[in-house]
Structure 1
Amino acid sequence: MVEELALADDAVAACVDAPAWALPEDELIAALDAAHRLEQRLAAVTLTLIRELDGRGTPRAQGASSTAVWLRERLRLTAPAARRLIDLATALDTGNPGIRQALADGHITLDQARVITDTATTVQTTAGTQAADKAIGVLVGWAAQFDPTHLRKLGTRILDHVAPDIADTAAQAALDAEARRATRDRHLTLSEQTDGRLRLTGTLDAETAGLLRAAIDPLTAPSGPDDSRSPGQRRHDALAEVCRLTLRTGELPDSGGDSAQIVITTHYDELARQLSAGALDTGLQLTPNTVRRLACDANILPAVLGSTGQPLDVGRQRRLITGPLRRALVLRDRGCAFPGCDRPPRWCDAHHIHHWADGGTTSLDNAVLLCGHHHRHLHHSDWTVHLGADGHPEFTPPTWLDPEQLPRRNHYHRRT
């Protein structure tokens, strides 16, 4: 398979540099159709490989917390995109060979395959395998005419075509299946922008959407006749106010031994002179005015920094890495330090590199931030961790994974 894919890769590479401008219009359209069909066929191969790797447990054996996380790191995908591929690969492997074949033949797209799979699953639950097979045939035929959105709408009444005697009674089952899909597909993604802002994307289920609207709608009204904010800006400010109100309740669960909080690093002398910018523990930069405004409603938590910005003095030593020492660890690692992991600091434990029970000290140069999965993995595998010359964690993989045992770092949390 690897040799065949290499040949296909060479053929595609040759097409990349081919002069498309020289093709007559009919050949240009034919080439577009062929390229699109090839993309779907390759998608079918990709799904087969993903399913096999997932079934063997390869991602977890290599230290990933899940197959989705491993795919994100390996293929540079978003986590939701990786999960959708795994779900579809599993569905096509466990009972939908007709859909897989249609994808492999280039007759349907990857998104159409997801729609047909979801619909076929609903039909099988309500009308049995024979009706589901008929539904797949009908939907694959319709896929030549309709995009995924229209195909999903048509699929809500597919039983009218394949099992009309139970179509009406199955309508409720279809609604229930849609609710389950909404629960499965719910997600929220926080993407940092290069200028320090944060982009929110995601899909909320109906209940959560109702909760969000109930929370922010009362705060989105214009503050007066001179309020020039757009509706989107008012919703943004309402969400910020909801977060402030929530933090003030004091009822949020602890985060790594500390109560819920935001931590800002700045220089005290320059802050007093209204000159100093600041950085959140997530790495986002704040203007001097924002830092001073937040400092009016916060406790000052001092941290002494060296010339390279490394925290040097954050409190007395003790067995548990909490309080000032944990804040310094968060400032350094900014999340789980294991290569490829994107878990934020609030989800992480502080791990002694040289264990406390074996004489290790509770200090910044003997600590590393790890999420629960990678904390357990490090204790029960042949991975090792140490601090590099610049004071940041480096992880050495076992020889079976990398015979050269080249140290690896986590690049998801680096801001420079």
Structure 2
Amino acid sequence: MVEELAQADDAVAACVNAAVWALPEHDLVAALDAAHRLQQRLAAVTLTLVREIDGRGTARAHGASTTAVWLRERLRMTVPAARRLVDLATALDTGNPGIRHALADGTITQDQARVIADTATTVTASVGAEVAEKAVGVLVEWAGQFDPTLLRRIGSRILDHVAPDLADAAAAAALAAEDARATRDRNLTLSAQTDGRLRLTGTLDAETAGLLRAAIDPLSAPTGPDDGRSPGQRRHDALTDVCRLALRTGDLPEHGGDPAQIVVTTDYDTLTRQLGSGTLDIGVRLTPATVRRLACDATILPAVLSSAGQVLDVGRQRRLITGPLRRALVLRDGGCAFPGCDRPPRWCAAHHIHHWADGGPTNLDNAVLLCGHHHRHIHHSHWTVRLGDDGHPEFIPPAWLDPDQLPRRNHYHRRR
């Protein structure tokens, strides 16, 4: 097998740098179909090898805790992807052989094979292997017309086609099996990158997916016609707002003996000179602008150090806009005070108009409510904010936007 795979590897390598631009359209499409079919047939070989390795206990012999962990190191896969590979290899080996044969023939894809195998498992558990074999035959045939998503949807009612007299009784079992798979496959991976960013990957069960969508969808809408953020950036910022809200509730469990919080460590002198970077308690460095923006948020505790590294103050109470002062601020602003924003108070942080790091006082005359998006915007743009003669905040646009720089106000939250 190793020699034959080496020959196949040589054949594929010869195609990598082929002059595909010279192919007529018919041959180009035919080559794509052939490459895709070969990919599925190789997937069948891979699954056969994974099943044998798993059955022999090779992973434990090599010191890994599971085959999935061993595959992660050997093939540089994520553990969830490796686990799905092992599960599918097991299903194709112990279940209906028709699925494995169809994959080996290149007539179905690996994703379709997973859908058919899941359906076969459910049907076997509910009505028996004989009906499951019939269902596999129907789904393999339909795989030539439907993608994995539609195939799974059709598979949920496969008994209507192969055993209509048993369909209603098995529907509840199928739903329960689908729920069990969702519970089993749920995962969330946080992968730290070298620059301090974090990559999120995972699969949510139906309930959690609904909760997440309910939480971030309202916050993911564009803030106005000039909102230049992409949909992905808006969802990112919405998740940031949800996390800020969760921290602000104070209901999260303690972590390491301390309340859930972010600690930014910086040097006091460099902070007041607007030059100092900062470091999160997880070791990630922050730009001076980010440190100054975080210093405004009442849910962020700054750890200010002297020149000798001694802690001078951690979250000075006179800096935090909390309690009666925040309630007064909410009564005055009603929500994000930036013109045109309708975000409610619970999604807002209190911003010091005259920065606390510059000696600004913590009082109602020096504070304004801003949502996460506009809080960042104020810190990273040429907009300025002040209180008008009536004590309500007004925002001065940059000259490039309005040469007259006429003050603007938010009218969404005005109570009078």
TM-score (norm 1): 0.62
Number of residue pairs the alignment of both structures matches: 307
Q: For 1:237-289, what per-residue CA distance to the aligned partner results, in whole angstroms no more than 9, with x for missing partners? A: 55334433444566545545665443545455433422122343555442213
1:8-407 matches, cutoff 5 A: 8-191=8-191, 196-212=196-212, 236-247=236-247, 252-253=252-253, 255=255, 260-264=260-264, 266-282=266-282, 284-295=284-295, 297-298=300-301, 300=303
Relative to structure 1, the CA distance from residue 197 to residue 227 in structure 2 (aligned partners, 3 Å threshold; closer, same or farther) is farther
SS of equivalent residue, structure 2 residue 262: coil
User: Could you tell me how far apart the structure 1 residues matched to 2:241 and 2:111 are?
Assistant: 38
User: Could you tell me how far apart the structure 2 residues matched to 1:77 and 1:191 are?
Assistant: 13
Aligned residue identity for 1:175? L
User: Could you tell me how far apart the structure 1 residues matched to 2:217 and 2:15 are?
Assistant: 53
Aligned-residue offset at 1:205: 2.0
SS of equivalent residue, structure 1 residue 18: coil
Relative to structure 1, the CA distance from residue 314 to residue 188 in structure 2 (aligned partners, 3 Å threshold; closer, same or farther) is farther
Aligned-residue offset at 1:124: 0.8
Structural RMSD (CA): 3.7
SS of equivalent residue, structure 2 residue 301: coil
User: Could you tell me how far apart the structure 1 residues matched to 2:65 and 2:257 are?
Assistant: 23
Check the 8 A contact 2:142/2:151 in 1, yes or no. yes
Check the 8 A contact 1:270/1:276 in 2, yes or no. yes
SS of equivalent residue, structure 1 residue 300: strand
SS of equivalent residue, structure 1 residue 180: helix
Say which is worse superposed, 237-246 or 82-91, in terms of deviation.
237-246
Relative to structure 1, the CA distance from residue 5 to residue 254 in structure 2 (aligned partners, 3 Å threshold; closer, same or farther) is farther
Query: 5+ residue gaps in structure 2?
Result: 312-416
Relative to structure 1, the CA distance from residue 221 to residue 105 in structure 2 (aligned partners, 3 Å threshold; closer, same or farther) is closer
SS of equivalent residue, structure 2 residue 188: strand
Aligned residue identity for 2:109? T
Aligned-residue offset at 1:132: 0.4
Q: For 1:155-207, what per-residue CA distance to the aligned partner results, in whole angstroms no more than 9, with x for missing partners? A: 12211222121122222222222222222332334455676544544432232
Q: For 1:279-324, what per-residue CA distance to the aligned partner results, in whole angstroms no more than 9, with x for missing partners? A: 435554422132234356425276999xxxxxxx999xxxxxxxxx
Relative to structure 1, the CA distance from residue 62 to residue 44 in structure 2 (aligned partners, 3 Å threshold; closer, same or farther) is same
Aligned-residue offset at 1:128: 0.5
User: Could you tell me how far apart the structure 1 residues matched to 2:44 and 2:307 are?
Assistant: 55
Check the 8 A contact 1:112/1:147 in 2, yes or no. yes
Relative to structure 1, the CA distance from residue 13 to residue 267 in structure 2 (aligned partners, 3 Å threshold; closer, same or farther) is farther
Say which is worse superposed, 170-179 or 131-140, in terms of deviation.
170-179
Check the 8 A contact 1:266/1:276 in 2, yes or no. yes
Aligned-residue offset at 1:232: 6.9
Relative to structure 1, the CA distance from residue 232 to residue 52 in structure 2 (aligned partners, 3 Å threshold; closer, same or farther) is closer
Relative to structure 1, the CA distance from residue 303 to residue 48 in structure 2 (aligned partners, 3 Å threshold; closer, same or farther) is farther
SS of equivalent residue, structure 1 residue 146: coil
Aligned-residue offset at 1:95: 1.7
Match of 2:347 in 1: none
Aligned residue identity for 1:91? A
Aligned-residue offset at 1:108: 0.9
User: Could you tell me how far apart the structure 2 residues matched to 1:227 and 1:150 are?
Assistant: 37
User: Could you tell me how far apart the structure 1 residues matched to 2:238 and 2:147 are?
Assistant: 37
SS of equivalent residue, structure 1 residue 157: coil
Aligned-residue offset at 1:46: 1.1
Check the 8 A contact 1:51/1:86 in 2, yes or no. yes
Check the 8 A contact 1:116/1:136 in 2, yes or no. yes
Q: Percent identity of the aligned residues?
A: 74
Aligned-residue offset at 1:110: 0.4
Check the 8 A contact 1:92/1:99 in 2, yes or no. yes
User: Could you tell me how far apart the structure 1 residues matched to 2:162 and 2:172 are?
Assistant: 17
User: Could you tell me how far apart the structure 1 residues matched to 2:20 and 2:251 are?
Assistant: 62
Match of 1:337 in 2: none
Relative to structure 1, the CA distance from residue 221 to residue 39 in structure 2 (aligned partners, 3 Å threshold; closer, same or farther) is closer
TM-score (norm 2): 0.62
Aligned residue identity for 2:129? T
Check the 8 A contact 1:37/1:107 in 2, yes or no. yes
Check the 8 A contact 2:266/2:305 in 1, yes or no. no
Check the 8 A contact 2:276/2:288 in 1, yes or no. yes
Check the 8 A contact 1:127/1:163 in 2, yes or no. no
Relative to structure 1, the CA distance from residue 153 to residue 218 in structure 2 (aligned partners, 3 Å threshold; closer, same or farther) is closer
Check the 8 A contact 2:103/2:113 in 1, yes or no. yes
